[in-house]
A and B are shown apart, each in its own frame.
Chain A
Amino acid sequence: MNWTLALPEIVLACLGMAILIFGVVRKQDSTVLATMFTIGAFLVTGFLVMTRASGTGFNGQFVTDAFASFNKELILLGGALSLILSLDWNRTQGIARFEYPVLVLFATVGMMVMVSASNMMSLYLGLELQSLALYVLAAFARDDQRSSEAGLKYFVLSGLASGLLLYGISLVYGFSGTMDFEALHGALMTPSAAPAGLIVGLVFVVVGLAFKISAVPFHMWTPDVYEGAPTPVTTFFATAPKVAAMALLLRMMGTSFAELVPAWQSLIVLMSIASMVLGTLAAIGQRSIKRLMAYSSIGHMGYALIGLAVGSSDGVRGVLVYMTIYVLMSAGMFACILAMKRGGRPAEQIADLSGLATSDPGLALAISVFMFSLAGIPPMAGFFAKLYIFLAAVKGGLWTLAIIGVLTSVVGAFYYIRVIKVMYFDPPAEAFDRRPPALSFVVAATGLFTAFFFLFPAAVVDAAEMASRVLFR
């Protein structure tokens, strides 16, 4: 048994408990220190992840490979960014408590276990660890009705999804006799011999995971939770858990069910089309920028699912590039939303951005970079994300999906450029409060990445290429 494979997770979990004890023991407020320690723990873990060898440990429960490492780094990045963003916000909104970074940390441990899972059992453990921490985070502003509502809603619906997932897992186990991904792959070598019950189980598993990435028709919770949860929590929701769930979905489909592509392809295609169409159409009518981002994330997951639907390592590469760019641009966009405050109170309507180009040209420029990028207009990073996805789709012959994808991206462009319209074409409103420097830093860093990704695309694409070779062998 090679336990050192899981060293990053073990170290992170231990550090998390240490920070928790530190926070409890120390009498005065230690939110800032705890947050800093957590970011430090993420850095250490990130380093450990990078130095891991590939291999399988814990009797086939746990696997580390290039794919897992790529996604773990991305999850840690998303977690770290949302923690940096939370500091000032939580303080001014009166919800600064040292439990916040600790919860984010444990959710992150859960996600890391998810992407390294190579057995249904460890999959479920990781998923539940993640979810439990996330329920609390969604309701973190406990005196705020909207936040409590978000937490409860997320809890109930997520519980339902977990139930479906478990049911699916039990069906798969019952009809195949194993829960190990590799063993399942071996058992399903001849797709025609796959029992119908197993296919039903597969569908339930996919549904459970589709809930986590908020693909249509399992997206209902997303707009309410995004809107209700405190904005730093929304930032976290929009980045790390999406990566983890998508990675898990990719790994399951790419190993256990890799031979059953025809069986699940149409399912993924349907979800992808529905997500793209609903995500873009429903976003048009939104007034709140957080709800707009919620529908936009639904749409983006639809695009990412195109890569999965292709069912090849090209598709996986496309998804990984997409998720990397998506995490950075949505973290940047949420940082901009966090900067929207007037007199200490958050301003969340699109109309609040009116005339921002006059009152705060820097922020307006950053938001337009993110909006053009989310719309997929070159030379912004979002264009490359879509390029690799469509490349895989065309290569895989999924023409319908590719055509619907590009057309919905035009519809999507409508509401993204509407935000730019409000900022640049409308008369200026009252200026926002001064931004804390940490926020400006995140906005600048992610903005530069998004705007200048075209100068160095090879680095990210090569890493994604390496990671994607593991699946659909």
Chain B
Amino acid sequence: MNAAGFPILSLVTWLPLAGCIVIMAVRGDEETVASNARWTALWTSLLVLALSLVLWVKFDPREPGFQFNESVTWLPHYRIAYKMGVDGISVLFVLLSTVLTPICILASWESIHTKVREFMLAFLVLETMLVGMFCAADFVIFYMFFEGVLIPMYLIIGIWGGPRRVYAAVKFFLFTLTGSVLMLLALIAMWLHAGTTDISVLMDTRFPVQMQTWLFFALMASFAVKVPMWPVHTWLPDAHVEAPTAGSVILAGVLLKMGAYGFLRFSVPMLPDASQYYAPLIYTLSVIAVIYTSLVALAQEDMKKLIAYSSIAHMGVVTIGIFTFNEQGIQGALFQMLSHGIVSAALFLVVGVVYDRIHSRDIVRYGGLADRMPAYALVFMVFTMATIGLPGTSGFVGEVLVIIGSAQINFWLALLGGLGMILGAAYMLYLYRRVIFGTITHADLRNILDLSPREWTVFAPLIALTLWMGVYPSSFTGFFDESVAAMVQHHHAAVSNTVKFAQGTQGDKQQR
């Protein structure tokens, strides 16, 4: 049995579905059902959050491997088991998902008023899929959760989204599915090669270098779409703009981390040679993403679209960090993922606040909000600074670690990657100035209301987390120090082995 004494990971994963059953069981008129669905969903997600805090307390940061392991036979002939486990890399993402879900439910308390029950159902199913994906210790189980995310997310964008929701939902679905099915082939090939799909066994399996190359591209097809990397990022702005606020929050907060998590969990440890060989390709795409999407963000007229493009740029920094293969780089990438999960989620909520009041996301529609909404201006400022990477906020730590990590690879990589911070400051401050400062030009802004207590409840934990991560980062990095160190060591050992082997065979040839 595991450290918690009971199958905690399965409980955290499947508990939201129990909430679904309760919500579905309710009968009555629409108002009763809606209010019941809201409260049940909120309490379920809070219960899940409370349970997941057991992971925070009981997790042993000195142990690099999987913890809280669970295993149930599932398809014994194929050596696939229902395996759950978290290590330093995944544990914080489980927490990120469980923290953001109640926040999303709170944020959509009033803004969703049609089909409330179905919305809450979709969200709880989504939580199950996300948590299950981060907990999976078996590739097939991972894949099922990874693709299963599509179903609730497709519905969330398509039913409760904006005017072009159908286009956005279908585009999101098809982009992601195309990548995923290629990963499925890679999964099958790895399964046949290793004889099992247990992730920890696969990490120690040596795949032939030739095979690694195409496995790497098959996996990349899937993860790059999710990250999203340039040039397969085009689904993201559409999905973000059309999704309801809570949908954007979970999309930016957790769904974008799925791709980067996939790189860290599968590509880098299982395919070390191919990862090393194709790292320059990833660098190139990431640098293009950072610079290009930052420039695109500068030109946006729509607040959500601007933040969506900034997300792509930030995720570009993450992929650079992952493929530096040194401790600073990978730690920075992980930290940046967590920080971006909190900060970009918060920024979408910030946009949601004014959207709920004015029903417009056009930047020109606003101006001078500081006058009427001082508290809002403050909250907006905190997250703007965090996304820019001001020291003392969470954004700083991740970016700096990645830059340090990439400077060990190449000076230009560090410089170009770091350019994102400067451009980020440009577009975010420009946005902030246009929305918050200046004079009020639109009449309806004169009697706009400041943050409500419910909105404060939503933002308070996010502000606290942002500052905590910025001021005392080691309470978070402590979780993944050992896992990352083990991963880096494993990677370099594997690569130098291959090099030695290659030199050995060459030497043999020369002797002959």
Contact = CB atoms under 8 A, between A and B. Distances in A.
A218 interface: no
Given A391-B188, A391-B191, A421 B143 contact: no
B165 A379 contact: no
Contacts of A357: 115, 118, 159
Given A378-B148, A391-B188, A402-B185, A421 B74 contact: no
A425 B159 contact: yes
Contacts of B170: 414, 417-418, 421
Interface in B153-169: 154-155, 158-159, 165-166, 169
A272 to B, nearest CB: 16
Nearest to A399: B185
A420 B151 CA distance: 10
A394 interface: yes
Contacts of A461: 75, 77
A421 B147 contact: no
Nearest to B73: A458
A409 B174 CA distance: 10
Given A394-B192, A403-B182, 9 more contacts: A378-B143, A379-B144, A391-B191, A403-B185, A410-B178, A418-B170, A421-B169, A424-B158, A457-B75
A414 B174 contact: yes
Nearest to A386: B184
The 4 closest A-B pairs by CB, nearest first: A406-B181, A378-B144, A394-B188, A425-B158
B189 interface: yes
Q: Is the interface of B mostly helix, strand, loop or mixed?
A: helix
Interface in B348-400: none
A377 B188 contact: no
A394 B182 CA distance: 12
Interface string B65-94: 000000000111100000000000000000
Interface residues of A, number: 33
A199 to B, nearest CB: 32
Name which of B118, B151, B158, B170 has the most chain A CB atoms within 10 A of its CB: B151
Given A390-B188, A410-B178, A425-B165, A417 B144 contact: no
B159 A407 contact: no
Nearest to B140: A387
A457 B74 contact: yes
Contacts of B189: 394
A424 B155 contact: yes
A84 B143 CA distance: 37
Nearest to A412: B177
Nearest to A426: B166
Interface string A148-169: 0000000000000000000000
B297 to A, nearest CB: 29
B150 interface: yes
A377 B185 contact: no
Contact of A390 (B74, B155, B185): B185
B151 A406 contact: no
B76 A458 contact: yes
Interface string A109-150: 000000000000000000000000000000000000000000
Given A417-B154, A421-B158, A410 B144 contact: no
Interface in B177-202: 177-178, 181-182, 184-185, 188-189, 191-192
B182 A406 contact: yes
B185 A394 contact: yes
B59 interface: no
Given A410-B178, A425-B165, A378 B188 contact: no
Interface string B105-148: 00000000001001000000000000000000000000110011
